[in-house]
Structure 1
């Protein structure tokens, strides 16, 4: 494949009024309420799309502290260049898996689940899961909607296929939270670290499970990523505040999934 066609361009999901209403309404439908009772707050650090820097600097920040994270791979992006830099490869995924990190599922082509049919969604997700299994990283149990977007066909089709299906709207996983469209908080942009800190405070106050996500991890990250220092400070803050820092799969196990 030539370099001209090997680059992934930034994509913007539907931001129209119709799209905004759909995203709000779908959160009320096809729900799978969580049953959560924790003695201590939990936090998961996750990385979407698996840019190479997340698999290097992000993994190192966790591993240096004896911790592990969750990486949502879209196998169709691996090894390509994108707006967050170079994407990691299947070899990187196997290395992370062997080190104890969780390799989780996106769609293969980074498909927008807010626009796709049930059949196309299932086909793309199954293709991705097969690619992850071929890398030797096991069958994924955690899923994240690319762009955080989902429509009724995709949400209905994917319900129950994974322990958790993660979105991007802010919130905590507490009793009654929808596991088919679980909330998460991004560590991204200039105020990402401050926003994440505020949500850590909320999670601690409620003994809740917080899922944080980012993309690239670098000294000069993209608008969708975070700095290495910012990630390290959040990990250290969570540790100091008494959080259990777990992968998304382990968090799901602890709430009985």
Structure 2
């Protein structure tokens, strides 16, 4: 099963690519949080507000009020508060299920459920960007995502510049298990010099994060570096509007 999953991930990376040109007039940085652990709002929200920036929160309606990866997940009032504060709400799958575990019809049903759940709680709000749970994509799932969303954000490292697959936008992980391996200052400088788009994703935010989370100081440093490099800091959907060209 593991080998088959790896083959499907690899196929999705190289097959059925719908390329778009990423060429903003100046470098752009976008920050996102997946699943929405409660601390991604209660701890990260004040850091974002201090910097005066907006992020994207990729929601799984089925996780609301529950526990995921040993961390309490958001409650509806948290989602409503971050939306009211001007942050983007984007789509994960409803139950945080990997695309590797669903056929196209099951994925459509999951996206329908998530869209309806969010719209009911955010006054008809419609999500326009998607992030792959676990970074898992398949060729068939990419087609479903392209039908519904402006883009699909993945988890493959790198800066988006030139021709990129709109269903698998690159992103670095603001995760304690990955952060030591990044030259963040260098990545920000490279994004500015290349006039590219650097996206990053995180999960929980606390002084004792999981392997998939980061500290408030990590988050503060990332935003300071982005600003110091002269990057525009925008949520994913707003960035998409300025970075893409036919």
TM > 0.5 fold call: yes
CA deviations over 1:141-174 (Å, ceiling 9, x no partner)? 1101100001122112222310111111112222
Check the 8 A contact 1:171/1:185 in 2, yes or no.
yes
1:151 correspondence with 2:138: yes
Q: Which runs of 5+ in 1 are unaligned?
A: 1-13
Deviations along 1:53-108, one digit per CA (max 9) or x if unpaired, are: 00111121111111110000001001112225110022211111110100110010
Structure-2 residue corresponding to 1:162: 149
SS at match of 1:22: helix
User: Counting helix residues as a fraction of each chain, which structure ranks higher?
Assistant: 2
Show the counterpart of 1:8: none
Structure 1 residue corresponding to 2:115, chosen from 115, 125, 129: 129
Which residues of structure 2 form unaligned runs of 5+?
Answer: none
CA contact (8 A) 1:84 1:216 kept: no
Which secondary structure state, in structure 2, belongs to the residue aligned with residue 176 of structure 1? strand
Query: What's the TM-score once normalised by structure 1's chain length?
Result: 0.89
Q: Which has the higher contact order (CA 8 A, sep 6+)?
A: 2
Q: For residue 160 of structure 1, give the secondary structure of its aligned residue in structure 2.
A: helix
Match of 2:67 among 72, 81, 101: 81
> How well do the aligned residues superpose, as a CA RMSD in angstroms?
1.6
- Given that residues 33 and 175 in structure 1 are in contact (C-alpha distance below 8 angstroms), is that contact kept between their aligned partners in structure 2? no
Q: Which residue of 2 aligns with 1:233?
A: 221
Structure 1 residue 196: deviation in Å? 6.1
Aligned to 2:212: 224
Of the three residues 12, 15, 37, the one matched with 2:23 is 37
The alpha-carbon distance between structure 1 residues 117 and 217, as it changes in their structure 2 partners (threshold 3 A), is same
Cα shift readout 1:171-203 (whole Å, capped 9, x = no counterpart): 222221101111111011244165160432331
- Name the SS of the counterpart of 1:217 in structure 2: coil
Distance in 2 (alpha carbons) for counterparts of 1:73 and 1:79 = 12
Alignment of 1:49-198 (within 5 A): 49-136=35-122, 138-192=125-179, 195=182, 197=184, 198=186
Distance change (3 Å), C-alpha of 1:84 and 1:206:
farther
Does the CA-based 8 Å contact 1:107-1:128 persist in structure 2? yes
